[in-house]
């Protein structure tokens, strides 16, 4: 299956943020999207997943022959798309295990699994990420450190087994050990049935993930694509130099 984005334009209110995105991501591929702050990277992830704050004004997003712009976020998730949030929400009164069990049943309605069997699966997967056993009974993201929230997002991905996962700056706030664990978990998921879009500012997570394609975003557009060598060039020269080479007029670029 292929996630296909064609000439995508999207607004928040009256402000246009995405200005003609073209991108195709198939299962079995890992794509990295890089770019300075304000490029539209996180907006792209939200638009794909149907965040109602954003309105598609032109173009098309399709997956499994479905127009995602016509679907609710839960319907998009049921198709097999998953978003790891840059800033995960905290929900008091809802345990992590109950939340994820409900999500699993919704995503995989034909796979009957008791709560006890699911808890065993969840505990085994948590162990893979070196998450403590009491973690799954805590309230969803409440009191979690930044690193715990990011590991919790990857734990959800591993359990739900999406067809395409979008990881929005999953590496931010992670120490080197957590970064390696998260990267290994994503690498272990790589198969013909799993694809990913990794949104990041920095090359360090790409050292472990080894994406098939790297794209640079600026001002709501993908202005350059290549392989891992493009990420290496970005790390060496910074965004300003890459943008200039791509014919973009640069006044000031936030390199973060």
DSSP 114-164: -HHHHHHHHHHHHHHTT--GGGGGSEETTT--HHHHHHHHHHHHHHH--SE
SS3 188: helix
Distance of CA 184 to the CA centre of its chain: 16
pLDDT for 179-202, tens place per residue?
Answer: 888 898 889 899 999 999 999 988
pLDDT of residue 250: 54
What integer pLDDT is reported at residue 182 of this predicted model? 87
Nearest C-alpha neighbor of 81 from the set 112, 44, 118, 131: 44
| Residue of 91, 151, 93, 99 whose CA lies nearest to 125 | 151
Instruction: Please report which helix (H) or strand (E) contains residue 222, including its range.
Output: strand 221-226
Whole-prediction pTM value?
0.90
What is the share, in percent, of the chain residues with pLDDT greater than 90? 57
The tokens describing 42, both together, are 């996180």
* Angle made by CA atoms 109, 102, 172, in degrees to the nearest 5: 115
At 84-130, the pLDDT tens digits run 988 888 899 999 999 999 999 988 887 778 888 998 999 999 988 88
Once rounded to an integer, what is the mean pLDDT over residues 164-192?
89
Q: Which two tokens stand for residue 106?
A: 């919704």
Q: How far is CA 75 from CA 3, 61, 71, 81, 244, in A?
A: 15, 14, 6, 9, 40
pLDDT for residue 213:
96
Give yes or no for residue 252 having a pLDDT over 80: no
* Order of strands, sheet of 66-67, starting from the edge strand that comes earlier in the sequence: 15-26, 2-12, 55-63, 66-67
Determine the CATH number of domain 2-245.
3.40.50.300
Q: Which residues, in sequence order, are bridge partners of residue 26?
A: 2
Q: pLDDT-derived band of residue 254, with 50, 70 and 90 as boundaries?
A: very low
CA 10 centroid distance within chain: 18
Instruction: Decide the pairing of beta strands 164-168 and 81-84.
Output: parallel
Round the average pLDDT of the chain to a whole number and report it. 90
């Amino acid at each position: 299956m292929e996630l296909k984005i064609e000439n995508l334009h999207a607004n928040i209110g009256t402000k246009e943020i995405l200005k003609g995105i073209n991108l195709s991501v198939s299962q079995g591929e890992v794509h990295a999207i890089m770019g300075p702050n304000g490029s539209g990277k996180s907006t792209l992830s939200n638009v794909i997943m149907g965040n109602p704050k954003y309105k598609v004004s032109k173009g098309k997003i399709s997956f499994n022959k479905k127009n995602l712009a016509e679907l609710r976020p839960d319907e998009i998730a049921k198709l097999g798309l998953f978003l790891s949030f840059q800033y995960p929400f905290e929900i008091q009164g809802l345990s992590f295990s109950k939340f994820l069990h409900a999500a699993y049943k919704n995503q995989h309605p034909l796979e009957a699994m008791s709560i006890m069997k699911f808890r065993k699966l969840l505990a085994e997967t948590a162990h893979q990420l070196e998450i403590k056993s009491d973690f799954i009974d805590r309230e969803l993201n409440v009191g979690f450190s930044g690193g715990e929230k990011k590991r919790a997002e990857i734990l959800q991905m591993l359990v739900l087994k999406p067809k395409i996962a979008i990881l929005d700056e999953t590496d931010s706030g992670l120490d080197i050990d957590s970064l390696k664990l998260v990267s290994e978990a994503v690498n272990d998921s790589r198969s013909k049935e799993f694809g990913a879009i990794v949104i990041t500012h920095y090359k360090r997570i790409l050292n472990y993930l080894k994406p098939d394609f790297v794209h640079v975003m600026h001002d709501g557009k993908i202005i350059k694509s290549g392989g891992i060598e493009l990420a290496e060039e970005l790390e060496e020269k910074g965004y300003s130099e890459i943008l200039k080479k791509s014919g973009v007029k640069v006044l000031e670029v936030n390199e973060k």
